[in-house]
Structure 1
Amino acid sequence: MWWFRRNREPSRRPVEDVDLDSLLALVAESLGYSFAFARDGGSVTLTGDPKDGGELVVRLTGLRREAGRRAREDWPMLVSEHLSHAVATAGERLDVCDLEQARPLVRTRVEAVDDVADLTRVVGRHLNADLVELLFVGSRAVRPEQAGCWPVPTAQALDLAVANVHREERLEAESIELSGTPVTRLTAMTPSAATHLRWLGDYLAVPADGVLVVLPDPYTLLVHPVDGIGVVRAIERLRVHAARTDGLSSQVYWWHAERLTHIRADIIAQRGQTRLVVAPPPEFARVLARLAV
């Protein structure tokens, strides 16, 4: 009788974990797999036809953390994507959920916020309202439930990726002109050029007031020093160039004090003529006023 009473005791596992396991079971079955959960709930083993690869161990630590941050109505999609992704990449040697394997391959790249389909399904940080720096392993964006398996917080994981970019890549620098205005073009071999803004001093003299910068594509930076009133014309030249390339961003930014600030510059066509209307942020406006004296 003691054995019977003990097995009738209610589960001590959080109800959220139990509900998530139910969803995992449903999705696993829909994919054609039988399943077995680890005792600690940290993984689930999917078993299918041995011809299709036999057993597949899927880590769940990061998934559980991500589910805890999301509304319950998001769970079915979250679970379905997690298991489907694990099955789709089962033949790959790299397990992104294992930081020791992923560490040498983590990188960052900057993308326009509007080009990211769902910011909740990627790992990154905003550079400003327009641009976000995302965490990648190789050519794939890291998913929150994958990074959630790592024994480091997201900010530290991004710093690891930034350090990899700095250590393994150097930009090519060349001087060019945009309608008579000199700028420096910095080119990367990988789509991580914007990550190198942190180390601009390695490539050119950066004045105390920083530089103007445009990001025509993930591989390229165009910069101009903020060192005289000629910077007003440089804003125009850079803005027009960025608009024509239709790449990563059509905007002009100010890189100063480790921050990337948008300088609003609207191209207005009126009566057959085109003009640029610049509305600089207050801090940059004060710099312009000082340079104009």
Structure 2
Amino acid sequence: MGIFRRRRSGPSAPEPSDRPDEVFGRLSADDVAWIRGLAQRTLGENGVEATVDETGADLIGSDGMRFALDNVMTTCASAPRSDWPQIVTHHFAAMARTTGAPSVRDLGRDELFQRVRTRLLPVDALHMNGLDLATHSRPVAADLAAVLCVDFPETVSYFDSTVAEGLPIDELFRAGQINTDAEPIEEIGTSDDGVLTFVAGSVYTASKTLSMANLVDRVFGRDMPHGVVFAVPDRNCVLLHPVESIDVLGAISHLAGTAERIFTDAAWSVSPNVYHWYRDTITRISTVDDDRLTIVPTEELVEILGRLAG
């Protein structure tokens, strides 16, 4: 009967408290301690004993394997408290299962080239969870970079400096982008006012902008001689508007506000900024200072707008 609900078993999320955590400031210290404890318990129940590292940001397995807490903390911060137990147990049970999975080094050439993906990341994430991704990264815009990762069934493994050494990085970037371009798109739609086009899909959706010509052709089905303005506030979505008339000025403002809102609430945020793709180059056209986003068009975009105003 619809009026009866099955009682949930297992741990319940703690009652809310006000003291912010020093490491994960979007959550209280009590919340973070509870999530850490459940994460350790879940790993232990799946055969992995882990302790909290000295920073409080990761769990360290007895074999030295590092289990990052930031992703699950971010997800919980944006989810109802009643969902926290399932989020934490599902995430860390999957993490425990990956301890027996092959590493990037264990893959043969064919499987490596099938599983490799490109990934768009903010530059401040190039050193994360003890990994150094900067050695093989490629600059995309002032605050964005492309890296390589391997897509396993339950997790994504990044190429750090030790893994990347000796591998054919140029070939892997080419194969990785082909694989990322082939990742499914779940939805292409427009905002309620029809100004913005949005693309939603897998965790690699934002990374499709690394091959923007392909994405633009799929979304708009026509040439864009003046490019597009776009945003990647979350790894699962892209917001776009073609540069075809002077009306793009209003669209840029709309794009900036929408991107900032999504970025603030996103569990897997990438950037709050706005970018211009033109002639296969991506340029940031906004800045964020003191939590205030300002549009700063390039001379090239100003020249284009002048021609369109004609």
TM-score range, shorter chain: 0.5 to 0.7
Instruction: Mark the CA change 1:142 to 1:174 in structure 2 (over 3 Å): closer, same or farther.
Output: same
Query: 1:229 corresponds to which letter in structure 2?
Result: I
Unaligned residue ranges in structure 2 (runs of 5+): 1-62, 67-95
Shift of 1:215: 0.6
Query: 1:103 corresponds to which letter in structure 2?
Result: F
Query: 1:145 corresponds to which letter in structure 2?
Result: T
- The CA deviation string for residues 139-178 of structure 1, in whole angstroms up to 9 with x for no partner, is 111112212243x2x222111111112234345311223x
Q: Separation in 2 of the partners of 1:127 and 1:141?
A: 18
Aligned to 2:208: 195
Are 1:96 and 2:109 an aligned pair?
A: no
Are 1:110 and 2:120 an aligned pair?
A: yes
Aligned to 1:264: 286
Choose from 195, 202, 210 the match for 1:182.
195
Shift of 1:93: 3.3
Is contact 2:187-2:199 (8 Å) kept?
yes
Instruction: Mark the CA change 1:115 to 1:147 in structure 2 (over 3 Å): closer, same or farther.
Output: closer
Tell me the matched-pair count.
202
Choose from 275, 291, 298 the match for 1:253.
275
More moved, 196-205 vs 154-163: 196-205
Shift of 1:268: 9.2
Q: Separation in 1 of the partners of 2:294 and 2:180?
A: 36
- The CA deviation string for residues 60-111 of structure 1, in whole angstroms up to 9 with x for no partner, is xxxxxxxxxxxxxxxxxxxxxxx9569x987323443545232211111111
- The CA deviation string for residues 159-217 of structure 1, in whole angstroms up to 9 with x for no partner, is 1111112234345311223xx35111111222343324241212213421011101110
Shift of 1:113: 1.0
Query: 2:159 corresponds to which letter in structure 1?
Result: V
More moved, 116-125 vs 241-250: 116-125
> Which protein shows a greater Rg?
1
Aligned to 2:28: none
Is contact 2:185-2:199 (8 Å) kept?
no
**Matched position secondary structure for 2:105:** coil
Choose from 224, 228, 235 the match for 1:207.
224
| Structure number with higher strand proportion | 1
Are 1:173 and 2:173 an aligned pair?
A: no
Q: Separation in 1 of the partners of 2:246 and 2:138?
A: 33
Instruction: Mark the CA change 1:277 to 1:195 in structure 2 (over 3 Å): closer, same or farther.
Output: closer
Query: 1:125 corresponds to which letter in structure 2?
Result: R
TM-score (norm 2): 0.57
Query: 1:226 corresponds to which letter in structure 2?
Result: V
Matches within 5 A, 1:1-293: 84=64, 91-96=100-105, 98-100=107-109, 101-117=111-127, 121-122=132-133, 123-138=136-151, 139-150=156-167, 152=168, 154-170=169-185, 172-177=187-192, 180=193, 182-196=195-209, 197-199=212-214, 200-204=216-220, 205-245=222-262, 246=264, 247-264=269-286, 277-293=294-310
Shift of 1:233: 0.5
Unaligned residue ranges in structure 1 (runs of 5+): 1-82
Q: Separation in 1 of the partners of 2:306 and 2:287?
A: 17
Is contact 1:181-1:237 (8 Å) kept?
no
